[in-house]
Copies of this chain bind each other. A is one copy, B any other.
Amino acid sequence: MSAPLNRPSPEILDRIRAVVGPKGWRDDPAAMEPHLKEWRGLWTGRTPAVVMPATTEEVAAVVTIASQAGIALVPQGGNTGLVGGGVPTETGDELLISLARMNRIRDVDAAGGSMVAEAGCILADVQAAAAEAGRLFPLSLASEGSARIGGLISTNAGGVHVLRYGSMRDLVLGLEVVLPDGQVWNGLRRLRKDNTGYALRQLFAGAEGTLGIITAAALELVPMPRHRAAAFVAMGSPEAALDLFARARAHAGDLLEAFELINATPMGFALRHIPGLGDPLPDAAGPWFVLIELAGPIPLGDLLEGLLGEALEEGAIEDAAIAQSETQRNAFWSLREGLSEAQKPEGASIKHDVSVPVSAIPALIRRGGRLVEELIPGARLCPFGHMGDGNIHFNVSRPVDMTDADFLAHWHEVATAVHDLVAELGGSFSAEHGVGRLKTGDLTRYRSEVEVGLMRAIKDVIDPAGIMSPGRVLSRD
């Protein structure tokens, strides 16, 4: 639909370099490399330079030049994405804009419960600044030590606390965005209620950089829970886990902060490959486990014990270990956070970041398991994830005696079978990670023409030249 994009000329590159200065310019291959390779190694790109503006004005000036010249721009945060959205393509025509230097927390309003942070702030730093003010910024995920706010908003990141606090878009009060023509939209309001026209911040959140570059955000802070209680629970089936989830919601209401389902196979990988991890329930058969955590303003041990005691008595679960210390609670979480990484040493894996209505999780696991076994006998199922959100990382490791290449040759076939099943169950082919370049085909396969047409219309009117992250979310026609 849009005009063809141009390769940046030396003259354009000079003009952009003049805007950001030497500190904001990297064209040395070694310095560029960490920006060009996605961390899983699935995507490697090329770019004439990594441009690192230090201010909103610099971003706007760069975008204005690129817009006039028809140059494609790819904004990047911490480069922790999983769908190829934040790395440039192999053509070398796309200019990478890293927001890493815009890492200032502009201010914290503890009484009002908000903070304004620039796009390049690392999530862990934002969490720490909130904690310093006696507040909680509740988004929490495995990559929090390197993921940056702009990328987290652009991908509407999830993590382990969505059940209680929602995903990133629910924590964004306002945004500052450089639009594809270089204009700056200052929507940095920090209001919990503001019904003045279309919810533009909700449009940019989750747009994966295709509608503009987020430069700063007003974030919501919540009360810091003074008490937490966690348990590791064993049970025989996904149905039993769903039953425990219903019990936990009824018993603890929304003091329930996390409910993570873990299968014995990926748990075994983690215990085998990650030093220092221990099995919280070495005598339990499982093969299903749940990490359950309550959080709130009052001691919660009794509430958790009551819930698990009743479930044990009624034969709803096999066994449970309640964390007796902060150290033990952290150990439970280290085990949970290690699951993804621990699949690597076991060879190639095919991962599905899918969601279904919570009540359909047992069906997803059983029917999905049969599908995979039919396509690749011996493949090792590694499902785990945020059961309370209906979000299971339905991962599959290769059979022990198969080569990575032979296994990965089935990738498309397996992914399609799993995504078809998810669609049948009313679910989503991308729960957390987004569409990026990896899943543009899924978007047109699983979403109606009406829906994709609406998205294209919005993209075309906000970015008529098509320079912002082309080919992400919506394929280029």
Contacts and interface: CB of A to CB of B under 8 A. Distances in A.
Interface string A230-257: 0000000000001000100111111110
Nearest to A458: B198
A179 B450 contact: yes
B435 A390 contact: no
A200 interface: yes
Nearest to A206: B199
Interface stretch (A20-28, A186-194, A311-319): A186-194
Contacts of A360: 112
A195 B112 contact: no
Nearest to A164: B254
A195 B155 contact: yes
Given A112-B390, A255-B297, A358-B113, A198 B207 contact: yes
Contacts of A432: 193, 195
Copies in the complex: 2
A195 B430 contact: yes
B206 A203 contact: no
Interface in A437-461: 439, 442-443, 446-448, 450-452, 454-455, 457-458, 460-461
Nearest to A243: B111
Interface in A175-210: 179, 183-187, 189-200, 202-203, 205-207
A305 to B, nearest CB: 13
A191 B388 CA distance: 11
A296 B224 CA distance: 17
A187 B380 CA distance: 34
A428 B242 contact: no
A223 B249 contact: yes
A187 to B, nearest CB: 6
A127 interface: no
